[in-house]
Structure 1
Amino acid sequence: MIQKAEDKAKDSSIVAKLRKEHQPYFRNALFLSVFVAALPVAPIAFMRLTFGPVLYSDSVAYLLWLLLILIAALTLAAALEWVRDRIIMAGSISFVSKLEKIVFSTVFEDSSREWTKGATIINDLRTIRTFLASQVAGAILDAPFAIFWLLVIFFIHPFMGLLSIFGAVMALIVGVIVEKKVEPEMEKAGEHQSTSRSELTSYFQNLNASLAMGTLPNLYDRWNKSQSSFLLSQATASAQQSFGGALTRVIMLVQGSMLLGLGTLLMLLEIMPIGMAGNLIIAKFIGALAMRPMMTAVMSWKNIVAARQAYENVDIFLQENPAVKKQMKLPKPKGVIQITNASVYADDSDKKILDQISLQANPGSVTIVLGESGAGKTTLAKLLVGFREPSAGSVRLDGVSVFNWDKAELGPHLGYLPQNIELFGGTMVENICRFEKPDQEKLKTACKRAGLNYIYEDYLNNTEHSIDPDSMTVSGGMRQKLGIARAFYGDPKLLVLDEPTSSLDSESEDNFIAAIMEFQKTNATIFIMTHNKKILKAADHILVLFKGRQKIFDTKTNIAKKMRMSQLEETN
């Protein structure tokens, strides 16, 4: 009963539904495979007729007509195979493209998932696409008809049929053994390659520190260990695959010769009539035709195993990580933030990063969040933008959970500057405009507020400033200004900035504070996490966190009054 439930769950999975949706492509390709498998037999019929009726008829016209029919049949076979390949290609592109969209959303919309696993799944999709576009997919469709041709040899003589099936079974056994040997090595190679890539990316991101501290030789040794393990596993799998392919070729060649030898022996023993000598060549030809798709499959067994493993990985990933369900379309947010008893626990721990935070911020207000490192400021920022869900309590924007709000719908109304600013390969304008088509007025305003007027002016003059994929050439101050401009772009209703002045000089800080006070007039709700008390100049409310707890939340005016009262009491 449990097994039935598991099978039902598999049948109802996203991958299974997509596979069912694309079955018409498979059925059409399979239908054409009937003709693709049958028409190559035309040379056999041509040979039989040439050495029989044509010679006895003494007619050149008969021979020419047969030759034209043969050419037409083989041309039609090639054309139908081409059409079949186009159908398979169209189906694979449609299937993988739809799967890619689901996987991409699933990987990126839930920030709690590890990127390494997400990157592996995206690589699995690439493996599936490559396999479906290869000749192996067509060979698999030809396999059932290959079995049919093997059975045809039985009509020539049962012993020859048994020998043909024996050869096919031997090729299959070789394939199974190779799979058992190759599969674990392919898994190891994939794991080592993923680790190697992750380490290399990490090293590039911290290149300056590595150079300064002289750690590159140690990092290279660490990376080389993973890379060597990957190459070793890959080499082992390739060697086993090559051995299997070589053995299969031997089986195919030996089978063809054995068919001729067995047929000759049967005639010498007068078990088969001497008049059927011509059928020996036919049996050899049909045997080779039947073995061709099997040999293609065995030779590419590594790709078949990799594609099957990739398919299973994607299916399991989507079952374990269901895509975020789309919510009902909501109106444009006004910016009312309400946090009620929000707590956040560290992963796999009872330790609280935030503990019972409660506050409300209205449109047009600026809330400055202060606290020591590790007080929970960054975690609170992630809660505010819906990047993380509270372990307890709620964080709502206009009465709706920020975490559950469709990010594509909320994104244009939200500005966020993370503490670790990430830029994307492209141009500075593309990064500021969030890779949308630039709106000149929005771009002008965002650049002005971030102190990047020259970028807008250069854009008008068709001069672009490029950013490499690793953004290694961008200084810390420029990175921060670009992040600020991106956050300001489009006049968002909720602006959350985490340490926005950490890499700015004094003049840029003053410009930033002025920009915040000017942006406040757009009636946006603003949160700024900072150690820089200079920014308090722009504050309406102040939230002080201490070890994840809310120590103070009040207006700047009330806090100033309480501090003056406290000073007077101490004086008296």
Structure 2
Amino acid sequence: MIDSTETGNPLHTALRACRTHFIYAGLFSGLINILYLAPSIFMLQVYDRVVPTRGFATLLVLTLILAISLIVFALLDTVRMRLLLRASVRLERMAAPDILHRILGTNGASLMQRAEAMRNFDKLRGTLTGPAIIALFDAPWAPIYIVISYMLHPLIGLLALLSSMLLIGIAVASDIYTRKGLEKTGRQSSATYQIQEFSIQSAEVARALGMRQALVTRHLLERAELVRGQGEVAGASGIFFAITKFLRMLLQSLALALGAYLAINQQISAGAIFAASLILGRALQPVEQILGALKNVLEAQNAYRGLSAFCRLPSATDAKTQLPTPAGHIQVTGVTVRVPGVDRPILSNVSFEVRPGEIVAVVGPSGAGKSTLLRAMAGALEVDDGEIRVDGASLAEWDRELLGRNVGYMPQTPTLFPAAVHTNISRFRGYVEPHGEAMDAKVIAAARQAGAHELILRFSQGYETRLVPREGGGLSAGQRQVVALARALYDEPALLFLDEPNAHLDINGETRLLETLARLKERGATVIVSTHRTGLLQAVDKVLLLRDGMVQVYGDRDEVIRGAQSAPGGRVEGAAPPAADDSAATGTLPAGPSPAPPAAPSSHAPASDAADVPGPRGVEPTEGGDVQKDSL
């Protein structure tokens, strides 16, 4: 039953909007079940009126009436199915957009809940046009047949009543016995498919490392457990269904026998013998159909519960006041992010402020929380404590679509979608905005600024090259990174969050990236960039040093670097020195002793503590000056 108090639940709202369809479908079900009596009445009249009197004219009229009744029956059944189909389509039109927004938005849902939400919705929607819903609509009309059986003879009515109660009892027992098994296999199936999808995405790694046989064995073991559980449930359901079919056939035969006994005793007519069997069979048919479709019914119930719980979670799509275009003032206050399900912080009480037009480098050893910080600031990740404000308004107060159009975000592992390069760079705006010369100009401008234009033109179909749904979309790591950077730069956003944008770039690529940062500085964009290379530090205004999820130092670039250079190791912790052959290209800052910088704001560790900060722990530079990337 739909809770009327949950007005914000899109599923409940859509189901309420479909209520009229269900009411009319129920009314048509009543008429259909009344017309189901036509063959029984026809048989009764033939045996009682036509055969004894040899009334051919009566037989012709009765046959005509039966034909008309069955035609009306077929039309009503068609209309009922179309009503349910329209309800399914309306449910899709009303609920699917909001559910998809919730899946893609940040609403506190787990990855499993997001992955299952649309499958649950499709399963529930599909049930509305399947045999299970028809059986459920027919079941309430079974008492009509019991009453008519009683009108034929009280004993026949009693047999119909007891038969219905017996089959209903079996249906309830089947539900109790199989429900937990179905729920368990449903969870196992979702988890198994999720792991398989991840293995498919990582197939190249598995082949390269010789893991294919091991992964196949693992998946087969998981599938064996799943198949065993499904077999147990199917076996139990099959037993109950077979018992139901046996009882229905037996009870129909008993109705014939009882009718014959009553006819011998001249308590009913000969025609009533067969009518009793047909009517009893029709009274029991909905119960048998429900048992046959019990698996689908229980799966639909589980899907409804799971989807309702998902839709009750806070939504990032709720209407918000349209705030002005952000200028780029960011305030991070007491932000803490924990590992999901574990009380272990990735970020702990992080606080700092970025003024409009500033470029801030976030540095630190692997595992310090750099990527997590950028994800939280970009709005891709919910924080557990504290708040992040943009131009004085918390992220929760911003319309996420409006803010997102003014944010350029490049994750540590650039994600490109299976679509054309142009579509990826334009952020799929062609689906919600006119696709014309203005959009093309923005795409090309972003690609030029990222240094990707010439690269894209060398693709087989240029900007219309479709990226395949596989690792990297068919591009190398460096190509993927510059295309993702172009997407972040699309439409000149005021805020940019770049997570190791030079991780896969060569010397020329890093030089172009420095030029890009300089142009962003000129137009007043606020940029937060994480890096393991010191080459990018020449383009920034401030440096934020993270270690163990906490701010160690935050201040002007020159002051932080001077303090770090005077410390053991002579460099900023977590920022690997560039290779000897690219010092000039990356503009490496010379080392040299200098006084410690002045104290930072009280919300952070004092900048003077930088002199005591040791070099990166357990982080070794690799060829080209890279170190192991932040795993968070």
Give the unaligned 5+ runs of structure 2.
567-591, 597-632
1:414 aligns with 2:407: yes
1: CA distance, partners of 2:501 / 2:13: 46
Structure 1 328/169 Cα, relative in aligned 2: closer, same or farther at 3 Å?
Answer: same
2: CA distance, partners of 1:206 / 1:80: 52
Equivalence for 2:115: 119
Deviation per CA, 1:411-436, whole angstroms, max 9, x where unpaired? 11111011122222222222222222
Structure 1 374/461 Cα, relative in aligned 2: closer, same or farther at 3 Å?
Answer: closer
Structure 1 505/156 Cα, relative in aligned 2: closer, same or farther at 3 Å?
Answer: same
Equivalence for 1:85: 81
Deviation per CA, 1:499-554, whole angstroms, max 9, x where unpaired? 01111111111112212212333321111111111112321222222333333333
Structure 1 11/267 Cα, relative in aligned 2: closer, same or farther at 3 Å?
Answer: farther
Equivalence for 1:28: 24
**Which of the residues 384, 387, 396 maps onto 2:380?**
387
Query: Which amino acid is 1:374 matched to?
Result: G
1: CA distance, partners of 2:129 / 2:334: 54
Equivalence for 2:325: 332
1: CA distance, partners of 2:548 / 2:104: 30
2: CA distance, partners of 1:388 / 1:16: 28
2: CA distance, partners of 1:27 / 1:212: 59
Identity of aligned residues (%): 26
Deviates more, 1:121-130 or 1:88-97: 88-97
**Which of the residues 226, 248, 257 maps onto 2:244?**
248
* Partner SS for 2:118: helix
Query: Which amino acid is 2:466 matched to?
Result: S
Equivalence for 2:152: 156
Deviates more, 1:461-470 or 1:532-541: 461-470
- What displacement does 1:51 show? 4.6
2: CA distance, partners of 1:50 / 1:345: 79
2: CA distance, partners of 1:525 / 1:491: 11
**Which of the residues 202, 207, 214 maps onto 2:203?**
207
Equivalence for 2:506: 505
1: CA distance, partners of 2:186 / 2:405: 38
2: CA distance, partners of 1:564 / 1:411: 38
**Which of the residues 126, 131, 136 maps onto 1:135?**
131
CA contact (8 A) 1:32 1:80 kept: yes
Deviates more, 1:173-182 or 1:154-163: 173-182
Deviation per CA, 1:200-227, whole angstroms, max 9, x where unpaired? 1222333333223322222222222211
**Which of the residues 274, 278, 289 maps onto 1:285?**
278
CA contact (8 A) 1:419 1:500 kept: yes
Structure 1 265/373 Cα, relative in aligned 2: closer, same or farther at 3 Å?
Answer: same
* Partner SS for 2:470: coil
2: CA distance, partners of 1:58 / 1:413: 88
* Partner SS for 2:37: helix
Give the unaligned 5+ runs of structure 1.
1-5
- What displacement does 1:17 show? 4.8
Deviation per CA, 1:400-458, whole angstroms, max 9, x where unpaired? 11244222221111110111222222222222222221510111012212332247658
Deviation per CA, 1:313-344, whole angstroms, max 9, x where unpaired? 2223334x233443222222121222234444
Structure 1 485/285 Cα, relative in aligned 2: closer, same or farther at 3 Å?
Answer: same
CA contact (8 A) 2:11 2:308 kept: yes
1: CA distance, partners of 2:48 / 2:349: 95
1:567 aligns with 2:599: no
Structure 1 246/483 Cα, relative in aligned 2: closer, same or farther at 3 Å?
Answer: same
**Which of the residues 419, 422, 427 maps onto 1:426?**
419
Equivalence for 1:144: 140
Q: CA RMSD in A?
A: 3.0
CA contact (8 A) 2:88 2:125 kept: yes
**Which of the residues 315, 326, 335 maps onto 1:323?**
315
CA contact (8 A) 2:48 2:271 kept: no
Equivalence for 1:528: 529
1: CA distance, partners of 2:101 / 2:72: 43
Deviates more, 1:544-553 or 1:10-19: 10-19
Equivalence for 1:3: none
Aligned residue pairs total 561
Q: What TM-score comes out, normalization by structure 2 length? A: 0.81
Structure 1 219/56 Cα, relative in aligned 2: closer, same or farther at 3 Å?
Answer: closer
- What displacement does 1:562 show? 7.2
Equivalence for 1:540: 541
Equivalence for 1:445: 445
CA contact (8 A) 1:363 1:523 kept: yes
Deviation per CA, 1:471-499, whole angstroms, max 9, x where unpaired? 35332112212211111112111010000
- What displacement does 1:59 show? 6.8
Structure 1 463/497 Cα, relative in aligned 2: closer, same or farther at 3 Å?
Answer: closer
2: CA distance, partners of 1:458 / 1:294: 65
Structure 1 58/455 Cα, relative in aligned 2: closer, same or farther at 3 Å?
Answer: farther
Q: Which has the higher helix share?
A: 1
Q: What TM-score comes out, normalization by structure 1 length? A: 0.89
2: CA distance, partners of 1:418 / 1:494: 14
**Which of the residues 62, 72, 75 maps onto 1:76?**
72
- What displacement does 1:18 show? 4.3
1:307 aligns with 2:297: no
1: CA distance, partners of 2:363 / 2:500: 10
1:378 aligns with 2:371: yes
1:519 aligns with 2:520: yes
> Following superposition of structure 1 onto structure 2, how do residues 387-406 of structure 1 map, counting pairs within 5 Å?
387-406=380-399
* Partner SS for 2:380: coil
CA contact (8 A) 1:244 1:299 kept: no
> Following superposition of structure 1 onto structure 2, how do residues 549-568 of structure 1 map, counting pairs within 5 Å?
549-556=550-557, 567=593
- What displacement does 1:57 show? 7.8
